[in-house]
Structure 1
Amino acid sequence: MRLLIVEDEVKLNEQLCAYLKSEGYVTDSAFDGQEGLYLGEEHPYDLAIIDIGLPQIDGIEVIKKLREKGKKFPILILTARDSWQDKVGGLEAGADDYLVKPFHNEELRARANALIRRSNGHASPLLHFGPLTLDTAAKVVKLKEEALELTSFEYNTFEYLVQNVGKVISKTELTEHLYDQDFDRDSNTIEVFVGRLRKKIDPDGSLKPITTIRGQGYRFNLEADA
């Protein structure tokens, strides 16, 4: 999942990016509202984390402009102002949730996971597809209750396909949402990841959860259990 971090405190910005990358996210960062607005308008994100007190353009205005441009990704606001007016202002501008500084990284991660999950129509972090289970909180995939040994790339690919169940996801979209800018977009790496992933989640070939749509991309086919 690709996240946008807009925070003018350099140390905090760097700490957030480092922590979220360690949790398997891809991050882009901006240090003022103008740069954050540009990135938010130009690139696809799964979540934006935006500080309210930004230079050049304040965070609430950034959120308003992103929503006016039709950007629908969830937004989590950060604020050092522990007043209900600032929280309400951010939410009314189009944010989906807020965190008051200082906060624990684990709470940030939990809120980010929840916002991404809910934006894709999933209420619970546990998603069951017959013998397959995806735990988006623990970032674990199980087959018949046995945890699978997936690389971070394999897990991220699987989670993104599951979060977009039924949709055809192109290699370009997977690359934009899951990998850093220096990822080799002309390689067959995505095909390799998907091939290895298929063997691990469907070793006997009975489920066929991931279909290749020739010339278009991949689609996760299984419906979640009720």
Structure 2
Amino acid sequence: KINQAAALDLGGGSTQVTFAPTDPDQLPLYEKYMHEVNTLNRQIAVFTHSYLGLGLMAARHSVFTKGYSKDENNVESVCVNPIISNRTWTYSNIEYKVSGKPNPKSTTEEPIVDFEQCLEAVKTQVLPLVEPKPFTLKQHTVAAFSYYFERAIESGLIDPFQGGEITVSAYRKKAEEICSIANDEQPFMCFDLTFISVLLREGYGLGDSKKIKLYKKIDGHEISW
């Protein structure tokens, strides 16, 4: 069987998953989400779905504002370092002032995010939105674009010019590392990497050792849906 590559695209408001199931028996599982695509010599049945609310910025908003009323713009998050105070962040034309929430593991000398606490906060908001769960995605070679690529660059996981290939666990390890330092320059990187790792691992069911090929462009073209 040909191993068709799967494409993962992470935008601001939604995230997309596209792949051609390799086993005809899988097609009924994804029936509502299948589309016929014409290629040079044949038609291929493709699973494609846009998960609303699972874009990077939408997920930030969901986690940062959980427990606050709709008109509350000053928010504290367990995924932001306690050293961060009233950092401006705009979402859907609304300006928020985001601060880190104090936690027992953080000290004045060593301000850190409680990673496990942040992880749970992200899982609570994210996992219910992964519907349908693309549970055969792990059978494919995975290529990822947009924020998957951008955050890997900005956190030093891959070379900005070469792109590269990393494992799912590399995102999780880097998230833990970033969450344990007072990263004033990138106040939301702890959240962003934690979210990406939850989406890939717990959301899509990809194993820790699964390789993700990261691209900004293919053949010189910017990639986006």
Of Structure 1 and Structure 2, the greater strand share is in 2
Per the shorter chain, which TM-score range? under 0.3
Higher RCO (CA-CA < 8 Å; seq separation 6+): 2
TM-score of the superposed pair, with normalisation by structure 1: 0.25
Q: Which has the higher helix share?
A: 1
